[in-house]
Amino acid sequence: MSFIQDNIFSGQMPKKLFVGCVDNEAFHGAFSKYPYEFKHFNLNFIGVYVNGQPVPHNPLELDFSKDQYIHAYQTLFLGTDRMGQDRGIFISRKEYKDSNNIIWI
């Protein structure tokens, strides 16, 4: 499946973009599903472009089956302004892959 959306924002651009995918049933309120379990759904590419230029970094190419997602994991530190600081986010790489797959752009 592929998703491309042009002109998502009109006017002022947001400084950060939070991307997380949840199970459809969880999104629609099924009591048996947890709506804050963000899954990767085998996402293999994500990028945001402004005027044809990638922002804030080049698109991420991912392969969760081969554990190639560290750049996406690092976006958690960038998005929460903790990159390079001596404080964590308390989400391990395994937890990120399994149920906390959030990407900050």
Predicted confidence band at 7 (pLDDT cuts at 50, 70, 90)? confident
The per-residue DSSP string of 27-82 comes to HTT-TTS-TT-BB-TT--EE--EETTEE-SSSPEE-BGGGTB-HHHHHHHHHHTT-
User: What tens digit of pLDDT does each residue of 10-69 get?
Assistant: 888 888 899 999 999 999 999 999 999 999 999 999 999 888 899 888 999 999 999 999
Q: What is the largest CA-CA distance in the chain?
A: 42
What pLDDT shows up at residue 57?
Answer: 84
- 46 contacts 56 by C-beta, under 8 angstroms: no
Predicted confidence band at 4 (pLDDT cuts at 50, 70, 90)? confident
Is residue 102 predicted with pLDDT exceeding 90?
Answer: yes
d(CA 52, CA 73): 25
